[in-house]
A and B are shown apart, each in its own frame.
Chain A
Amino acid sequence: MKVQLQQKIAFSVLFFCTLLVVVPVLLILVIISIKGFSAIDLGFLTEMPTSGMTAGGIFPAILGTLYLVFGAILFAVPLGVLSAIYLVEYSKDNVLSRLVRLAIVNLAGVPSVVYGLFGLGIFVLFLGFGASILSGSLTLGIMILPVIITASREALESVPRSFRIVSFSLGASKWQTIRHSVLPHALPGILTGTILGLGRAAGETAPILFTVAAFYLPRLPQSVFDQTMALPYHLYVISTQVPGIPENIRYGTALVLLLLVLLLNLAAIILRYRFRKRKKW
């Protein structure tokens, strides 16, 4: 009987903890939805802000965030995947490769505001890109690199060794083996890393604060060297910097940001599912 009681207690504790994880997520979703839902209509999503941002839409911020996320992914995914391939398949276990691994772990722990300052220093000022979509995307890209490298490494390492051995034994070269027998099977894992990075890049405020985000712009960005508005920063601005913004606009903006991240994640999940289905196990 005692064993059964322990069993029940353990189960209850585990279940309760899991529930605790779900509750805040649900609360955030529910509160933001309730307070912000009334603001969202087609105009809110597609129009420019008007009357000092107290009315109108948030289209430039949505577009800006999309630009920044795609810019960051465009930069970070190839770089991250290629360096993960190098680390897993080519590098030998020596001081240098351990140093690189350590650096990646540490990079993941750097606070996001430090990335912002770094981006300001190197991209905006030193390289002379100015406060621009290019600077912001690169800064966000560097921020999500460790996530993508770590996920890609794990994905590559989990491809069974037998695939490689078989490929080599048929006379394939190292690169052919990686290209045809390893990478296709690591893709779902790599996409998982990309999904995580995507969400982070869309939501962070600090890295774009100094590198790209504009308080208010009357027109849409015309090139990668233009500044842009972005959802997280816009949310910060209308919540704390400008008085008299209706509450439903603030929560509506937050809701749009949430939905955007969910939508991007969903797209990546569908892509991953299709890659998985293509596997012929």
Chain B
Amino acid sequence: MVEPDNTKLSIRDLTIRFGNATALNKFSLDIRRNEIFTIIGPANSGKSSLLQSLNRLNDLNPVYQKSGTVLIDGQDVDKIDAESLRKRVGIVFALPFPLPLSIFDNIAYGPRMHGIRNKKKLSEIVEKGLRDAYLWDEVKDRLQTPAMNLSGGQQQRLCIARILAVDPEVIMFDEPTSGLDPISTARVEETLRVLKQRYTIILVTNNVAQAARVGDRTAFLLMGELIEVDETKHLFTSPKDKRTDDYITGKFG
């Protein structure tokens, strides 16, 4: 079991339903501070639903029902107001969704919503976010141009910069490289390793090799059940469950 003070997020008996469809069933898991926690599993295994329960984005779905609890630093997420929770637990989606604004305004969007008006302060935040997402050098001369004009890989790093600008504690990546070429993917993975020093990172990925490359610990999900969770190197070298073995060796999924 994990040391209590080292636990960032604690998921207890979480069951998620959308209407009649069960997305997650009696799910329990602890995520530690400053680790890269990777979640693998075939499509429809409940990975994205899990993420969106952690920052309560699922609450926007009218047919969403849940039971069980999610604790962040020991506090029930349902007892925190959704805006503050989402500020602490950021998410980067599979597809980059830049807002139809300039690069600068995209990244300043979050801080502005949280009440930062000072231009100098905003510029600092934007620059820092872009630098941390390794995008600064590519865009520093065109911050006022539309973010939609960036390439796919740049847009994804823009979305990372945008969440960094909000200064979260946990960042969740929902298949962040599924639409990217290998070079952009390598850049994003490198970013993850650096970010881990300051943030707790949860990475959902369809790419088993990616989980093996960047994960500290890995969980394998199948049909809404947690099959196995372990140190990444153990899970990939000596999985305890046959289904995990089958999945990581590519026999199904």
Do the beta carbons of A166 and B97 come within 8 Å of each other? yes
Do the beta carbons of B148 and A170 come within 8 Å of each other? no
A185 at interface by CB-CB < 8 Å:
yes
Q: Out of B62, B90, B102, B147, which one reaches A170, CB within 8 Å?
A: B90
Max chain B C-beta neighbours (<10 A), residue from A162, A165, A172: A172
Do the beta carbons of A169 and B62 come within 8 Å of each other? no
1/0 per residue, CB under 8 A from B, across A233-259: the answer is 000000000000000000000000000
Do the beta carbons of A162 and B83 come within 8 Å of each other? no
Give the residues from 75 to 131 in chain B that come closer than 8 angstroms, CB to CB, to chain A: 82-84, 86-87, 90-91, 93, 95, 97, 99-102, 109-110, 112-114
B239 at interface by CB-CB < 8 Å:
no
1/0 per residue, CB under 8 A from A, across B18-58: the answer is 00000000000000000000000000000000000001010
B163 at interface by CB-CB < 8 Å:
yes
Q: Out of A162, A171, A185, which one reaches B86, CB within 8 Å?
A: A171
Known A-B contacts A170-B110, A171-B166, A281-B100; the reply to A165 vs B148 at CB < 8 A is no
A181 at interface by CB-CB < 8 Å:
yes
Do the beta carbons of A169 and B91 come within 8 Å of each other? yes
Known A-B contacts A176-B113, A280-B147, A280-B148; the reply to A168 vs B60 at CB < 8 A is yes
Please indicate the chain B residues that have their CB under 8 angstroms from the CB of A2 in the complex: none
1/0 per residue, CB under 8 A from A, across B136-161: the answer is 00000000011110000000000000
1/0 per residue, CB under 8 A from B, across A143-174: the answer is 00000000000000000001111111111110
Give the residues from 170 to 186 in chain A that come closer than 8 angstroms, CB to CB, to chain B: 170-173, 176, 180-181, 185
Please indicate the chain A residues that have their CB under 8 angstroms from the CB of B110 in the complex: 170-172
Please indicate the chain A residues that have their CB under 8 angstroms from the CB of B113 in the complex: 167, 170-173, 176, 180
Q: Out of B82, B100, B163, which one reaches A279, CB within 8 Å?
A: B100
B182 CB to closest chain A CB (Å) equals 26
Please indicate the chain A residues that have their CB under 8 angstroms from the CB of B163 in the complex: 169-170
- Cα-based distance from A93 to B205 in the complex (angstroms): 35
Please, could you name 21 A-B residue pairs with CB atoms under 8 Å apart, sorted by A? A162-B97, A163-B97, A163-B99, A165-B57, A165-B93, A165-B97, A166-B93, A166-B99, A169-B86, A169-B163, A170-B86, A170-B162, A170-B166, A172-B109, A172-B113, A176-B113, A280-B102, A280-B145, A280-B146, A280-B148, A281-B146
Residues of A within 8 A of B (CB): 92, 162-173, 176, 180-181, 185, 279-281
Residues of B within 8 A of A (CB): 55, 57, 60, 62, 82-84, 86-87, 90-91, 93, 95, 97, 99-102, 109-110, 112-114, 145-148, 162-163, 166
User: Which 4 pairs between the two chains have the least Cβ-Cβ distance?
Assistant: A280-B146, A171-B87, A170-B110, A172-B113
